[in-house]
């Protein structure tokens, strides 16, 4: 059976590999398709498509958009982005990155005032302009404050803590409508990482009505029971079962490429929706 990995990151956001390296690694892993879904940017999709053109793999242009539901950070994948719609997406995403840059300045200030050795300008020089909490976590690990990204997110960088103040995010249902307007395919990413079951079931009827196509049910951090629960929701709301490893390379080492995948038949169902 053929498999696809539909959730991955490059060094255009908080991954450590380039889009070209992602393609090479996906081929090495035996995948038949791989998606690049950087956070709030599509800067890497031109390189992705150009490099994959003569390779024996399907490359999916995507993006992971930060949204919110019930005041909780919720992530939405936009898959199969069309080249002719990229400009419309970029205008939306540029505003998200502008606000994120301001949030990063505040986070750096709060951490420095508390005595943490953090330098945002050095981070930008090292990682590029699209800085997020994963980069701050990496620096906190390097300085010995925490041991893992997850520990950083649950302590120093937690949203309800003293240092990180989440920026205002677009509502997820409105964003689903936008993704459909851009003729891309919206898939709810790792839903049980941010939402409780009751919250998720409150979201799905409205999300489906707005144009949600898929639900990420195959994910490295989900238990068998969680995956079975999400599969039941896909059947209830007529959503396509999707999945991906959320691979970040050396930036987040908890999951390798192809540790969670989508069967090719589901990939085709998603592809046919754009």
What is the residue extent of each domain of the chain?
A: 3-92+168-271, 93-154
Alpha carbons within 13 angstroms on the beta-carbon side of residue 138 total: 21
| Cα gap 245→217, rounded to integer Å | 11
Report the C-alpha gap between 230 and 257 in whole angstroms. Answer: 22
Residue with tokens 């169902």: 269
To which CATH superfamily is domain 3-92+168-271 assigned? Metal-dependent hydrolases (3.20.20.140)
- What's the mean pLDDT in 82-86? 93
pLDDT on residue 242: 98
Q: What is the pLDDT of residues 195-245, one digit of tens each?
A: 999 999 999 999 999 999 999 999 999 999 999 999 999 999 999 999 999
**99-138 pLDDT per residue, tens:** 889 999 999 999 999 999 999 999 999 988 889 898 999 9
Does the pLDDT at position 274 exceed 90? no
What pLDDT, in 10s, does the model give residues 178-204? 999 999 999 999 999 999 999 999 999
Give the model confidence (pLDDT) of 150-186 as tens digits.
999 999 999 889 999 888 899 999 999 999 999 999 9
Confidence class of residue 1 from pLDDT cuts 50, 70 and 90? confident
Going from the C-alpha of 201 to that of each of 74, 96, 122, 234, the distances in angstroms are: 14, 27, 42, 11
pLDDT at 77 over 80: yes
Q: Which residue has 């390798």 as its token pair?
A: 256
**Percent of the chain residues past pLDDT 70, beyond the cut:** 100
Q: What is the pTM of this model?
A: 0.89
Q: Per-residue confidence at 68, pLDDT binned at 50, 70, 90?
A: very high
Q: What is the CA radius of gyration of the chain?
A: 18
Q: What is the mean pLDDT of the chain?
A: 95
């Amino acid at each position: 059976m053929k498999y696809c990995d539909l959730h991955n990151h490059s060094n255009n956001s908080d991954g450590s590999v380039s889009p070209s390296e992602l393609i090479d690694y996906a081929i090495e892993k035996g995948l038949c398709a791989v998606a690049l879904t950087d956070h709030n940017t599509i800067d890497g999709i031109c390189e992705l498509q150009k490099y994959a053109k003569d390779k024996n793999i399907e490359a999916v242009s995507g993006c992971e958009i930060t949204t919110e539901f019930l005041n909780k950070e919720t992530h939405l994948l936009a898959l199969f982005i069309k080249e002719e719609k990229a400009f419309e997406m970029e205008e939306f995403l540029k505003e998200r990155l502008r606000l994120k840059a301001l949030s990063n300045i505040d986070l750096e200030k709060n951490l420095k005032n508390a005595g943490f050795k953090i330098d945002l300008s050095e981070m930008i020089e090292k990682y590029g302009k699209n800085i997020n909490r994963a980069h701050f976590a990496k620096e906190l690990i390097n300085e010995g404050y925490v041991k893992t990204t997850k520990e950083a997110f649950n302590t120093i960088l937690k949203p309800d803590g003293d240092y990180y103040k989440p920026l205002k995010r677009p509502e997820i249902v409105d964003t689903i409508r936008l993704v459909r307007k851009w003729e891309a395919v919206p898939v709810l990413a790792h839903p049980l990482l941010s939402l409780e079951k009751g919250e998720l079931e409150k979201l799905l009827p409205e999300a489906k009505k707005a144009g949600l196509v898929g639900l990420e049910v195959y994910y490295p951090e989900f238990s068998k029971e969680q995956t079975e629960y999400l599969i039941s929701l896909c059947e209830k709301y007529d959503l396509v079962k999707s999945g991906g490893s959320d691979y970040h390379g050396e930036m987040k080492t908890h999951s390798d490429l192809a540790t969670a995948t989508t069967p090719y038949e589901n990939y085709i169902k998603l592809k046919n929706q754009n």
